[in-house]
Chains A and B, each alone.
Chain A
């Protein structure tokens, strides 16, 4: 399968700071990328969907001004958690899917980023 990477894998920050998480599709062009959040012992919750070159679509209850998503190229999407607070501590996971090519209709997940806000 295709490879999706995330950076950093783990980040600890102080309350009030902003944190940027990168998601890259390494060997295919991802027309759509998805961002999920997972709290301990819970399932993945979809936060937003982003298509290359357009604004992200956020799920109900997810603050778009707090979780800034940029999908500037077919291989890179970023999630910025602005003014992070301890309740934002979570496991953030991205996934990518391709509109064409041999990975059409498949969705590949990154390894996740563990965010801890002190």
Chain B
């Protein structure tokens, strides 16, 4: 009963922007959108989260549509080290984090 839908895989050229989409059409008003990534055999790494407004930090930007039914994670200048599985998660504050299948992003030279 995943709450989000992501493409299973994407490729991106090194140095270009990587735009990872996520559909969360059943999101509730009090649910946040979180993005994590997991590099092989490591724990998930927090990237960014937001509620309604677009957010930017040193790692990425998060664009949430006005109806909040979808979002896009943007890595502005992808590097080879950004190759990972990216997870989009919707979550009520302080509740558990449930992972879907994620998107396997491969950054190519």
Residues in chain A within 8 A of chain B (CB atoms): 1, 4, 6, 32, 34, 36, 43-46, 49, 91, 93, 95, 97, 99, 105-112, 114
Contact = CB atoms under 8 A, between A and B. Distances in A.
Contacts of B101: 43
B96 A34 contact: yes
A6 B41 CA distance: 13
Contact of B100 (A32, A43, A95): A43
A36 B99 CA distance: 10
Consensus secondary structure, chain B interface: loop
A91 B41 contact: yes
Given A43-B99, A43-B102, A106-B46, A112 B94 contact: no
Nearest to A114: B41
Nearest to A94: B43
Contacts of A46: 96-99
Given A91-B41, A97-B94, A105-B93, A44 B46 contact: no
